[in-house]
Structure 1
Amino acid sequence: MLKRVAVVGAGAAGLCAARHILSRPNSFAPPVVFELTDKVGGTWCYDERVGTYDNGRPVHSSMYRDLRTNLPKEVMMFPDFPFDPQLSSFLPHQEVQKYLESYCQSHHIRPHIRFSTVVENVKPVVMTTEDEEERTTWEVTSSDSSGCQKTETFDSVFVCSGHYSDPHIPDIPGMENFKGQVLHSHSYRYAEPFSGQSVVVLGAKASGLDISIELAKVGAKVTLSHRRPRLTLPLPSGIQQSSAVVAVEDDGRLRFQDGSVSEADILMFCTGYNFRYPFLDGDQLGLKIQNNVVSPLYRFLLPPTFPSLFFIGICKIICPFPNFNCQVQFALAVLDGSVTLPSQAKMADEVRQELQEKVARGVEQRHLLIMDQDQWEYCQTLAHTAGFPLLPPVVRSLYEEVAQQRQIHPQNYRRLNYRVISETEWELVQKQVYTVTQSPQDATQHREVNLHQLH
């Protein structure tokens, strides 16, 4: 009997899930992909609208007009589907959107997508079979654009709805006293309206830094406010750094952690996003769904109590498309029986132990799903367990090279262009070859990279 899989979301993760399900016609029926909007691409779909759509639902995408990728296409791509080699390494969002549309078309996914359809509820139904085994199916209730509601049964659900759509706004005492405009980067689209204004940007991760640089270019006076150690990378002259905003005074001025106060026209939160799954009942699933953590998830993928529910792409600071590709293939191997999971108790123990180790290392609760350096071993473990090809070492080495360039040249690193020569080599367009010798760490000693064009 072919397994039926529901996929929630037609962004990169959902398309990847659909592509791999369709490639296994002997094990799986064609998927049903539920998509909130009328396009594929998820967060890569640029939409000038902010707030809500015409149907009253919140605008999903957080894409801004001039965003370019902070990873090169050579690292971003699905391993079996390269970008057009003629494109530069760092792409405007429109090119990533086109790539996802092309991926969708090449793998004949579109006929299986229900556009403008909202998933209202996903509920497990546990039955006992004749031989006394428990079997879980999933009731998925959705409604289309006409409001017509439908409930269907599936063997598995892949949650691919992303986590860049529900803005996280930290609680700052006295916020009601602020007299200027308050917004989150989720509602930022372009810099021109902020020209000549004083803007305090809260948060100095990727979006905070990029948006600050965009604002400075149009003549905004930017204060980059954050909790991290002072950034040592070179910033444009229009940006000054400050400690975190801790309160708003009665007169509307902002008070910073170092005791200083300042006025501002705009307060922009670049403070990340919450995990939000309105269609899931966390208590029923044995899951704690909080702002920054969904737990327990075995291998960051599935709740031990319901191992046919998969969250794809929940981790942060990763190579997203390669990561989704590994997670999807592991999940399908679980479903088709080629990977046998440990017992529920053992999975729960493993998750608990993993989180305790992170906390013991000083990782804060809100950073528990950040992978960064752990992503390589994670993907390797999934590949070894499920028997699919490992990510080539060149992905890691190029990822780490770009991370270094981002620190040295935050405004200009995107001018570089790379080319992958083999599974272990990449080069700059100047044809200077970089070979991975034993491991990416060892290889950094052998770099010969000419970066003169950045100065």
Structure 2
Amino acid sequence: MAVKRVAVIGAGAAGLCSVRHLSASPDLFSVVCFELSSTVGGTWNYTDNTGNDKNGLPIQSSMYKNLRTNLPKEVMAFPHFPFKTSLPSYITHESVLEYLKSYTDHYNLHKHIKLNTMVTTVKSRPCDGDKEFWDISYCAVDDQSNVHREEFDAVMVCNGHYSLPLYPTIPGMESFQGQVIHSHNYRSPEMFRDKRVVCLGAAASGQDIAIDVSREAKMVCLSHNKPPLQTYLPDNVQQKPGIRELGANSVTFNNGDEVQIDVLLLCTGYHYHFPFLSADCQVQISDERITPLYKHLIHIDHPTMAFIGIPKTICPFPQFDVQVRFFLSSLSGKFKLPSGEEMRRDTESDFERRLAVGFPPRYAHVLGPRQWEYNDELAELAGVELIPRVVQNLYDYVHETRVKDIVHYKDINYKLVDSETFRNSVKES
């Protein structure tokens, strides 16, 4: 088999994992990775800056200064590449970035990565039979008029989905005189000192940011439409239902309560965004559902294109590893994909099952408890090792401890004992 030339877009965790496995099989693949920023690590690169960077490009990272992971490092690691044992279980964004840079160094990935490089266009170019080429146009971020083009046999899209904020439509937003900020641009609690803040959205990051803000804010309302969180909260944090409307300096919640506020902090998530894909790539995004993707991963009509890291509510790095190896198994011919019609039926069946249990369409790629079955299925189809069951066991245990006390659950350290079991201990002061 001729060596396939593969383009990887993005050098965050998913992109680095892709480059690591591609470069490990030089008899099968050659790889070029395109990265917008000046270093690897993607969203884990913290910056005080918001808005646009010095080249006029949007700031990609959504890290805030005090962020610590909401999963323990023991479940976050790529297979066979653990975090330093000297670190606590819940680590800072600096430690995650250091880990990704160490991963890059260990597997000698830098030689495959073009930093400060923006992919401008990805075009599909069909050839004889089933063969397809991909034309990738790119430029240096500081010289965007000088565009280069290269040809590839396959494309792995790894640009993440935590950089383009999703802003909800709220009645009265245009007349609200307070500050409106998306969590993408949140950096430190000091900016809200002595202010009255509503955090809209109570997914994991919304909960963590509300607690972080409460260190400095006068009052924090955690507004959401979920059942009330059964957890200890700081004295200045209270739960409220979703927002009915905004006044000039107030918010009215769905239960009719009206509260005077200074800041509306939107922890409302992000859009999937692939601005470099041309129309002939035939990728559609509707209500945060990307189609047509087999197993949330492989383009059904262009099976030499993969999207790594699309699922939400997951244990990310181990899943990226399984997804990458599944795609490369199909690309090398080790695993034969089903027919296009079979893949389409599988995809629609998965979507219909979600709707049947009450999920809205925008939850098309949310996995949650389904992630383990999904990971195992990919691994078994591709003939690669399963993620050790201890990862699921600890992940599920952490979820149970978190929902009971979102303020203190990160004070616990964990140690993996074997492929099934773990033990824990309270962090020493």
Q: TM-score, normalised by structure 2?
A: 0.97
1:347-401 Cα deviation digits (max 9, x unpaired):
1111011101111111111212111111111111111111111111101000011
Deviation at 1:275, TM superposition (A): 0.4
CA distance in 1, matches of 2:341, 2:317: 31
d(CA) in 1 for partners of 2:156, 2:80: 21
Q: 2-side partners of 1:159 and 1:286: how far apart?
A: 14
Residue number in structure 1 paired with 2:16 = 15
Q: Secondary structure at the match of 1:68?
A: coil
Residue 141 (structure 1) aligned with residue 137 (structure 2):
yes
Q: Could you tell me how far apart the structure 2 residues matched to 1:95 and 1:291 are? A: 34
* 2:413–2:424 contact (8 Å) kept in structure 1: yes
CA contact (8 A) 1:286 1:303 kept: no
Q: CA deviation at 1:252?
A: 4.2
Structure-2 residue corresponding to 1:309: 305
> What residue identity is the alignment partner of 1:412?
H
Structure 2 gap ranges (5+): none
Cα shift at 1:263: 2.1
Partner of 1:446: none
Q: Which residue of 2 aligns with 1:183?
A: 181
Tell me if the contact between 1:274 and 1:291 (Cα under 8 Å) persists in the aligned partners.
no
Aligned to 1:225: 223
* Structure-1 separation of matches of 2:210 and 2:420: 36
CA contact under 8 A between 1:255 and 1:261: conserved in structure 2?
yes
Kindly provide the CA deviation profile for residues 199-221 of structure 1, in whole angstroms up to 9, marking residues without a partner as x: 11100111111111111122431
Match of 1:384 in 2: 380
Cα deviation, residue 291, structure 1: 4.9
CA distance in 2, matches of 1:246, 1:164: 26
What does the per-residue CA deviation read over 1:135-184, in whole Å, with 9 as the maximum and x for residues that have no partner?
Answer: 11100111113222111110110000000000001111221100011100
Secondary structure of the residue that 2:214 maps to in structure 1?
Answer: helix
Q: For structure 1, which segment, 325-334 or 403-412, has the greater mean C-alpha deviation from structure 2 after superposition?
A: 403-412
Deviation of 1:293 after TM superposition, in Å, equals 1.6
Match in the other structure for 2:355: 359
Counterparts in 2 of 1:291 and 1:97: CA distance versus 1, 3 Å: farther
| Structure 2 equivalent of residue 56 of structure 1 | 56
Give the whole-Å Cα distance in 1 for the aligned partners of 2:364 and 2:342: 20
**Matching residue's letter, 1:298:** Y
Is this contact kept in 1: 2:62–2:184, CA < 8 A? Answer: yes
Instruction: Give 1:284 deviation, angstroms.
Output: 2.9
Q: Deviations over 1:67-88 (max 9, x none)?
A: 0011111100001201111111
| Matched-pair identity in % | 41
Return the alpha-carbon distance in structure 2 between the equivalents of residues 305 and 193 of structure 1.
48
- The answer to whether the 8 A contact 1:275-1:290 is kept is no
Task: Kindly report which structure 2 residues correspond to 1:80-119, keeping only aligned pairs within 5 A, or say none.
Answer: 80-119=80-119
Q: TM-score, normalised by structure 1?
A: 0.91
Deviations 1:224-251 (A, max 9, x none): 11111111211111111111112223x4
The question of whether the paired residues in 2 share the 8 Å contact of 1:203 and 1:270 is answered with yes
Letter in 1 for 2:10: G
The runs of at least 4 consecutive aligned structure 1 residues that moved more than 4 Å come to none
Give the CA deviation at 1:285.
Answer: 3.1
Work out whether residues 189 and 217 of structure 2, in 8 Å CA contact, stay in contact via their aligned partners in 1. no
Q: Structure 1 regions of 5+ residues with no counterpart? A: 430-450
| 1:160-309 map, 5 Å | 160-249=158-247, 251-281=248-278, 283-309=279-305
Residues 274 and 291 (structure 1), Cα distance of their counterparts in 2 relative to 1, 3 Å cut = farther
Q: Please provide the CA RMSD for this pair.
A: 1.3
Amino acid at match of 2:387: L
